C-alpha cells in the first residue's frame, strides 16, 4: 500500500504569509495610533471650549449684576471700576446681595444686604476672581493643573464702553440713565481700555471681553499655517510651532443697573 505524501507550504508561501500578516498588523497599529491622536485632539478641544464657555458665563453674570441694590438706594458710582494700574486686565465690580440671585465668584448666593466687592484679574496664565465681603476668597476660574492637562490663559483684554454724548433726559431722577442729574442715553459711544480724562466709572455702560485660551498639553500632530493672534491682533510668540491648541472667546456685556 502506497502512502501519499501530505503536501505542505513552501518556504516562499510561508514568507508571503508572514509579510501579509505584518502588513495587517502595521495597518492596525496605524489605525490605533491615528484614532488615539484624534481622540486626544478632540479631548483638548472640548476642554478649551468648556473652560472658555464657563469663564464667559461667569463674567457675563457678574458684570450684569454690578450695581445691584434695593430701589431705595442710589446707584453706586463705582459699581464697576477699572484697575488703576492694569485696567485692561483687571477690574472691580460692586454689588449688594439679595440672598438668591446675586452671586459671588464661586457662584454662591450673596447674603441679602451684604455689600460685596468682586475683583476679576488675569495674571500668571490664570483668570481669577476675588470675593471680598468679610474675608477675601480667591477662585481660579481657569488655571494650569498638575500633570499638564489644564488650560492656560494666554491673553485677556477688557474694553469699557463709555457713554459720553449728552442727551436731553426728561425722566424723573430715579429713572434716569446714570442716576439723578445725568443727561445720557446709556449707549456706548466708544470702547476704551483706559478711561479718558474727565470720564468716570459711572459712564461705563458696557464691557467688551476678549479671552484667548491655550491647552497646556502639546500634541505633535497639531500644526498651524500661521501664528495665532492675541486680542490686540499681534502674533503670539511661538504659537505657530508649539503644537498646542488655541481658542478665542469674545463677548459684550451690558451693565443693567444704572
What nine digits make up the cell of 55? 469663564
pTM of the model: 0.81
pLDDT, tens digit (0-9, with 9 covering 90-100), for 72-126: 888 788 899 999 999 999 999 999 999 999 999 999 999 999 999 999 999 999 9
pLDDT at 1 over 60: no
Instruction: Report the mean per-residue pLDDT for the chain.
Output: 87
pLDDT at 2 over 70: no
Answer whether residue 23 is part of any domain.
no
Answer whether residue 13 is part of any domain.
no
Q: How many domains does the chain have?
A: 1
Answer whether residue 32 is part of any domain.
no
Integer Cα distance of 206 and 160 in angstroms: 6
pLDDT, tens digit (0-9, with 9 covering 90-100), for 112-168: 999 999 999 999 999 999 999 777 899 999 998 877 778 999 999 999 999 987 766
pLDDT band with cut points at 50, 70 and 90 for residue 172 = low
Answer whether residue 27 is part of any domain.
no
Integer Cα distance of 76 and 250 in angstroms: 27
Answer whether residue 29 is part of any domain.
no
What nine digits make up the cell of 8? 505542505
Answer whether residue 8 is part of any domain.
no
Answer whether residue 152 is part of any domain.
yes
Write out the residue range of the structural domain in which residue 61 sits: 38-254
How wide is the angle at C-alpha 155 spanned by C-alphas 159 and 109, nearest 5°?
70
What nine digits make up the cell of 255? 451693565
SS3 content of the chain, % helix, strand, coil (to 5): 25, 30, 50
Answer whether residue 1 is part of any domain.
no
Amino acid at each position: 500500500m502506497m502512502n501519499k505524501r501530505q503536501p505542505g507550504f513552501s518556504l516562499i508561501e510561508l514568507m508571503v504569509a508572514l509579510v501579509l500578516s505584518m502588513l495587517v498588523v502595521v495597518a492596525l497599529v496605524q489605525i490605533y495610533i491615528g484614532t488615539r491622536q484624534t481622540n486626544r485632539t478632540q479631548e483638548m478641544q472640548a476642554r478649551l471650549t468648556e473652560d472658555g464657555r464657563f469663564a464667559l458665563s461667569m463674567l457675563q453674570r457678574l458684570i450684569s449684576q454690578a450695581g445691584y441694590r434695593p430701589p431705595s438706594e442710589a446707584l453706586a458710582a463705582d459699581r464697576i471700576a477699572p484697575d488703576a494700574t492694569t485696567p485692561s486686565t483687571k477690574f472691580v465690580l460692586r454689588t449688594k446681595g439679595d440672598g438668591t440671585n446675586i452671586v459671588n465668584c464661586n457662584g454662591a448666593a450673596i447674603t441679602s444686604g451684604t455689600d460685596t466687592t468682586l475683583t476679576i484679574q488675569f495674571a500668571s496664565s490664570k483668570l481669577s476672581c476675588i470675593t471680598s465681603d468679610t474675608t477675601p476668597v480667591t477662585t481660579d476660574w481657569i488655571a494650569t493643573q498638575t500633570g499638564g492637562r489644564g488650560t492656560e490663559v494666554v491673553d485677556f483684554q477688557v474694553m469699557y464702553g463709555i457713554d459720553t454724548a449728552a442727551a436731553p433726559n426728561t425722566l424723573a431722577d430715579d429713572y434716569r440713565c446714570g442716576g439723578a442729574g445725568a443727561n445720557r442715553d446709556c449707549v456706548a459711544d466708544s470702547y476704551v481700555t483706559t478711561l479718558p480724562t474727565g470720564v468716570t466709572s459711572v459712564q461705563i455702560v458696557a464691557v467688551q471681553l476678549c479671552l484667548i485660551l491655550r491647552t497646556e498639553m502639546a500634541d505633535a500632530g497639531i500644526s498651524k499655517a500661521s501664528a495665532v493672534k492675541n486680542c490686540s491682533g499681534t502674533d503670539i510668540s511661538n504659537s505657530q510651532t508649539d503644537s498646542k491648541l488655541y481658542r478665542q472667546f469674545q463677548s459684550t456685556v451690558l451693565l443693567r443697573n444704572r
